[in-house]
Amino acid sequence: MVAVASLWKKKRDDLKARRNSLFETYSKDPQNFHLAREIKDLDDEIAECTPHIEQERRAEQRAASSASKLVTAPK
C-alpha cells in the first residue's frame, strides 16, 4: 500500500511542479488563456490525486493500528 500512496503522491507533486511553472509564466502574461486552461486542467488532475492519497493513508493507519493492537495485547 505504501508504494501505491507514494505513486499518487509523486504524480501529484509532479503535476504541482508543472502547474506552478505554468502559473509563473501566466502571471507575467494573464491574457494567455491557453495557459489558464492548462493550469485548470492540471488543477483538476491534482484534485483527483488527493482522495487516493488520503484513502491510502487511512488504510495504512488502520493497518498500523491493527498491528499494534495484536502486539500489545498480553495474556
pLDDT along the chain (75 residues), means of 10: 74 97 96 96 96 89 79 57
Give the pLDDT score at 66.
Answer: 79
40 burial (CB, 10 Å; 0-12 / 13-18 / 19+) is exposed
The residue extents of the domains of the chain are 2-56
Alpha carbons 20 and 18: distance in angstroms, whole number: 6
- The answer to whether the CB of 49 falls within 8 A of the CB of 8 is yes
- Cα 45 off chain centre by: 9
Entry pTM: 0.72
